[in-house]
Structure 1
């Protein structure tokens, strides 16, 4: 099964190894529970999602949901697992040159330095931490686009949070002719910089990474995890019972 339908989007049912072998160009999004809920009411986010070339499962809870629906997803491929796998897979590929966009001031540069040290070459050739609300400032976006184009990067990893990062990629990708691969990577740049610690592997594998992140950043994340994401479980039950109806939006 190449595609798995969950609510109003279809996910690519690929393993991480299959994705890395296949990924020569295109836009990669990594949907999680929070994305799935936002996709029910944010029309622009849905239209953005439908333009991605790859949509791979970022959540163990989505894996459980796919099994419950009878259409199991092979593997969880979170952005924070995919990105290090990607740069290690291409560590000897001179055509892969990465630009990092995201994080607070100085974080992207710190992430770039650490990645390059791990890989043993300058695979990250540019990094920038945009200002808060940059996506609403056309002038700043134009300057960022110029910076990326001047860097001659072939891969752009954007980590500014959803749905902002996905919308920004789709809005501006045609103005970035040198970029062959676009990755929406969420908190990955913070993880790579050592700015934020990831959950223990066992918690991630058990579908409890959300709990770890909630304990680490309660003020920022309590509303998302304890209120906003809860409707997901009701929606999945409705899909299982064939009672789910797609919101009044286009579907893939």
Structure 2
């Protein structure tokens, strides 16, 4: 299945399956072009940016797996997975969420364009508006764990419907962000594109310092983040991330031996 063609004016893209994940192997420029080309009036859909942790989540959560398989655009967020795929002769592309968010605000979103942000602290969103001169930002911050509270989910969906925007930035981690976007799709009342971006806005506004460029270039952002917050992130990177990397390395060997193909 190619999920881009029936719901966008953007040209259909090949899909790659790697480490149990689904990728549109786009560069940053190609991904920004895809986002800019999608009409704002189309029914609501999702951008996801899988990394190694997503492989673990998809194996453990059937709902998350279904959502990931149907998202309008799915671009690679992991240099580590990209290097693992290259061992099997496959290029996953690289268009991580934090980079896409920055490029959108720098190149695509005008100061007076309506944008909607779900999640994140009010002061962080205010920083974002100041940095880019944004004048039409709507922000709703649901309670922690709201995805399990139907009334809180309903309130957040209603907010998105009442504040139509070309881009809806969902500033919370997986799988909650993806599940919330799926609830919006099922509701059927919203337009625009939901971007499941995790902590990208806090990084963009300087609230969370980015990794040094030399670590970024070598795929060591995970190590930088782990060193800063070991108690919170050790399981993400040392358990879930390594699980996803292991699946990827197995796939790379299978590609080299001709036992399977990366094309969906």
Residue 79 of structure 1 and its aligned partner are, at CA, apart by 0.9
In the aligned structure 1, how far is the partner of 2:228 from the partner of 2:188?
36
Give the counterpart of 2:249 among 230, 237, 248.
Answer: 237
SS of 2:100's equivalent in the other structure is helix
Give the counterpart of 1:111 among 124, 135, 141.
Answer: 124
SS of 1:121's equivalent in the other structure is coil
| CA RMSD across the alignment | 2.5
Question: Where does residue 100 of structure 1 map in the other structure?
Answer: 117
Question: Where does residue 214 of structure 1 map in the other structure?
Answer: 226
SS of 2:60's equivalent in the other structure is coil
Deviations 1:43-90, CA, capped at 9 Å, x for gaps: 22111101101110001111102211211133x221111111112222
SS of 1:10's equivalent in the other structure is strand
Give the counterpart of 2:98 among 73, 80, 95.
Answer: 80
Query: What are the ranges of 5 or more consecutive residues in structure 2 without an aligned counterpart?
Result: 1-12, 40-44
SS of 2:203's equivalent in the other structure is helix
Contact 2:147-2:153 within 8 A present in 1 as well: yes
In the aligned structure 2, how far is the partner of 1:52 from the partner of 1:100?
19
Question: Where does residue 69 of structure 2 map in the other structure?
Answer: 50
Question: Where does residue 153 of structure 1 map in the other structure?
Answer: 165
SS of 1:241's equivalent in the other structure is helix
Normalising by structure 1, report the TM-score: 0.85
Distance 1:241 1:130, change over 3 A: same
Contact 1:111-1:192 within 8 A present in 2 as well: no
Give the counterpart of 1:228 among 236, 240, 264.
Answer: 240
Contact 1:27-1:182 within 8 A present in 2 as well: yes
In the aligned structure 1, how far is the partner of 2:18 from the partner of 2:202?
29
Distance 1:90 1:100, change over 3 A: same
Residue 3 of structure 1 and its aligned partner are, at CA, apart by 2.7
Query: What are the ranges of 5 or more consecutive residues in structure 1 without an aligned counterpart?
Result: 247-251
Contact 2:168-2:193 within 8 A present in 1 as well: yes
Question: Where does residue 51 of structure 2 map in the other structure?
Answer: 32
In the aligned structure 1, how far is the partner of 2:75 from the partner of 2:46?
11
SS of 2:50's equivalent in the other structure is coil
Count of residue correspondences: 240
> Is 2:18 the counterpart of 1:13?
no
In the aligned structure 2, how far is the partner of 1:43 from the partner of 1:89?
36
SS of 2:59's equivalent in the other structure is coil
- Report which structure shows greater RCO (CA 8 Å, sep ≥6): 2
Contact 2:52-2:81 within 8 A present in 1 as well: yes
What aligned pairs does 1:118-129 form with structure 2 within 5 A after superposition? 118-123=131-136, 125-129=137-141
Normalising by structure 2, report the TM-score: 0.82
Question: Where does residue 249 of structure 1 map in the other structure?
Answer: none
In the aligned structure 1, how far is the partner of 2:166 from the partner of 2:190?
6
